[in-house]
Amino acid sequence: MANHVSELLPERTFQYQSSLPLLPVPSLENSLLKYLNAVQLFASEKEFKATVDTVNKFQEGVGKELHQKLLQRAKTKKNWLEEWWLDSAYLEVRVPSQLNVNFGGPAPYLEHCWPPEEGTHLQRASISTWHTLQYWNLIRTERLAPQKSGKTPLDMDQFRMLFSTCKVPGVKKDTIRNYFKMEREGPCPSHLVVMCRGRFFTFDAVCDGQILTPPELLRQLSYVSECCEGEPEGDGVSALTSEERTRWAKAREHLISIDPHNNTILETIQSSLFVISLDETKPYSTPDNYTNVTLETLTGNPTIRWGDKSYNSIVFADGTFGCNCDHAPYDGIILVSMCWYLDQQIKATEGKWKGSEAVRSIPPPEELVFTVDEKVLSDISHAKQQYLVSDLQVVCYAFTAFGKATIKQKKLHPDTFVQLAMQLAYYRMHKAPGSCYETATTRKFYHGRTETMRPCTEEAVNWCTAMMDPTCNVSQCVCGLLVI
């Protein structure tokens, strides 16, 4: 496999995995103390006293027994939480994934190189896809630099789940199928799936050991677009992935039962590197307003997204891009890392391909056609109806006045700044503290993902109160901020 990195990195992507510390079990006393501190800000004096009594009974009673069981479990597992978290947060959840679990939003190629010339969305898609394939190759050849917090290595296992990964529905519990392999582990899938107007196409992204160039990718994408142009829409089988999980699992079983070839198609989609969705909508508005793009990635046409896929790259007709990703195999920061890479590459090349325009003799994309019957069509119709969204509100603006560099110059952590800004905004509107969930990382531990932290603290509330007090001078507010 050819690569486009000029020098080898001194560290391999997964080299620290075996030496990462195990996820510790926090002490019962400390956990309960943190709980009480978080509750106290929102409970009345009577409510808080009752809560303290309940916590004390728990700590001296069943809490002790449960904590000992946790300690025993931690002796036999490198990450005592991993399996529970995956099952409870993702795989056992029965509500539709696409609207309730998946994450998505604008993708690179947005304010950079804007506006595009009319009709160049496929050309831009070919370049974005090419850079994405380079990222896949960096992970496959273990040349993506391992991430660190300072000098502390972070767990990189989730990067294995970014490509060739798909969730498969089960009647009671879903499963994750991951087909990705590092180069030293052997061959792995290298095909893409393109979805357009309810139809499916696939082609290999590698030819003779070389990743297809943007001109070659453009030819493949153009072929799919031309096949669908002016033709009736396909059956839209992918809408089934937006269904309630048990209903989707049963519909999938029926789909396989009527024709074994349907299972082959499902396997092709599941094992693909990722899905490219050719979307006919034009959601872009202004360089600082991502609302429409974000809304379309989360709630757009379900017949051109495979909701269980680890990565759907959505190509809009106006040249903007979005993504929709199943949350089960990895967290948002993994996608952010790839999007940052794509962003840097696109900016560096001015969003253009500057290499050879030659196109090798490669087979055109193959259409994947499901065999369907009346029940499948009825299931698709039901899925589309339940997917209609009327109560989801999205506002997504780009704040451009300043960024994290300015915040750091003031000796503040950007996250602290943003969390306090949200607390103050809520306090100004409601004259009360806002109960807030924030994700914290546990990736410095083996197979760590996320934990919950509560940014609404006593110190934060005191600072908000001071900011709202006209008698409190600026220096006092600044001192309070620095203490936090």
Q: CB under 8 Å to 299, separation ≥6 — which residues? A: 99, 387, 389, 392
- State in Å, rounded, how far the first CA of the chain is from the last one: 50
**pLDDT, average across residues 247-264:** 98
Residue 287 has pLDDT above 80, yes or no: no
**pLDDT, average across residues 19-33:** 97
10 Å Cβ neighbour count for 441?
16
Compute the half-sphere exposure of residue 206: CA atoms within 13 Å on the CB side of its CA.
18
Which of the residue ranges 54-58, 120-124, 397-401 would you say has the lowest mean pLDDT?
397-401
pLDDT at res. 276: 98
Q: What is the pLDDT of residues 382-419, one digit of tens each?
A: 999 999 766 788 999 988 899 999 999 988 899 999 99
Name the amino acid, one letter, at 156: M
Surface-to-core class of residue 78, CB atoms within 10 Å of its CB (0-12 exposed, 13-18 middle, 19+ buried): middle
pLDDT at res. 286: 77
Q: Would you say 98 and 241 are in contact if contact means Cβ atoms under 8 Å apart?
A: yes
Q: Would you say 89 and 103 are in contact if contact means Cβ atoms under 8 Å apart?
A: no
- Identify the band that residue 475 occupies on the pLDDT scale cut at 50, 70 and 90: confident
Q: Rounded distance, CA 262 to CA 273, Å?
A: 19
CATH class of 401-483: alpha beta
DSSP state of 91: I
pLDDT at res. 6: 40
Residue 480 has pLDDT above 80, yes or no: no
pLDDT at res. 320: 92
The dihedral built from the CA positions of residue 369, 375, 377 and 382, taken in this order, carries a sign that is negative
The percent of residues above 90 in pLDDT, for the chain, comes to 87
Residue 345 has pLDDT above 70, yes or no: yes
Place of tokens 């303290």: 52
Write the DSSP assignment of 322-377 as a string of letters: EEEE-SSS--HHHHHHHHHHHHHHHHHTTT---S-------PPPEEE-----HHHH
10 Å Cβ neighbour count for 389?
13
For residue 112, give the nearest of 317, 280, 297, 351 by alpha carbon. 351
Q: What is the pLDDT of residues 158-197, one digit of tens each?
A: 999 999 999 999 999 999 999 999 999 999 999 999 999 9
pLDDT at res. 476: 65
pLDDT at res. 1: 47
Q: What are the CA-CA distances from residue 164 to residues 105, 161, 176, 394, 400 (Å)?
A: 20, 7, 11, 30, 35
pLDDT at res. 178: 98
pLDDT at res. 484: 59
Q: Would you say 328 and 121 are in contact if contact means Cβ atoms under 8 Å apart?
A: no
Extract the tokens encoding 98: 């696409």
For residue 125, give the nearest of 279, 315, 311 by alpha carbon. 315
What pTM was estimated for this model as a whole?
A: 0.93
Q: Would you say 16 and 446 are in contact if contact means Cβ atoms under 8 Å apart?
A: no
| 447 is known as an active-site residue | no
Q: Which of 121, 131, 327, 447 does the annotation list as catalytic?
A: 327
Could you confirm whether domain 94-387 is CATH 3.40.47.10?
Answer: no
Exposure string over 234-255, b if 16+ CB within 10 A, otherwise e: bbbbbbbbbbbbebbbebbeeb
**pLDDT, average across residues 79-106:** 95
Residue 353 has pLDDT above 50, yes or no: yes
Q: Rounded distance, CA 439 to CA 463, Å?
A: 22
| Secondary structure, 3-state, 262-319 | HHHHHHHHHHCCCEEEEECCCCCCECCECHHHHHHHHHCCHHHCCCCECCEEEEECCC
Residue 279 has pLDDT above 90, yes or no: yes
Q: What is the mean pLDDT of the chain?
A: 93
pLDDT at res. 409: 93
**pLDDT, average across residues 290-307:** 94
Q: Rounded distance, CA 474 to CA 451, Å?
A: 35
pLDDT at res. 2: 44
